[in-house]
Amino acid sequence: MGTLIYDGADGFAFDDRVLAHLQAVIATKLRRREGFLLIWTDRTTSTEGTLRSIWLDPAISLQFVFSHPTLPELNRDWLGLLTERANGNGGLMLEDALRAEIRAEVPEGTYKAAKSQRREG
């Protein structure tokens, strides 16, 4: 598990693979001087979890701390989906199902396909 350290104080645990994808998306947004909301359910303190959200802005200090010395390989499909969400009005919502698929390297498109089937049905 890696850690996203927000504003030098709060640390939030994410799987290294998820954190690497977040790092790529966040760095791109902040390089463009675009702030956005990151929302997820933090299950590190309880099984039910706590809904967390943080505002990411170029003026706020961030650190990405990985538990392994090498970054996991990035998946373009996941990067595209996360970037699309980060660009939306609701912010980047990181559901448990999406995080699980990124962690487990489930075949590409599974999450998108399931979401689009739900909308059609």
- Give me the DSSP letters along 19-52: HHHHHHHHHHHHHTT--EEEEEEE-SS-SS-EEE
Instruction: Give the chain's end-to-end CA distance (angstroms, integer).
Output: 36
Q: pTM score > 0.75 for this model?
A: yes
The answer to whether residues 101 and 110 touch, using CB atoms and an 8 Å cutoff, is yes
**What does the pLDDT profile of the chain (121 residues) look like in tens digits?**
899 999 888 889 999 999 999 999 999 999 999 999 999 988 887 788 889 999 999 999 999 999 999 888 898 989 999 999 999 999 999 988 888 887 775 444 444 445 545 555 5
pLDDT for res 107: 46
- Residue 61: alpha-carbon gap to chain centroid: 17
Sheet holding 50-56, edge to edge: 50-56, 36-42, 92-94
Nearest residue to 64 via CA among 10, 100, 19: 19
Name, in order, each residue with C-beta under 8 angstroms of 18's C-beta and a sequence gap of 6 or more: 94, 99, 102, 103
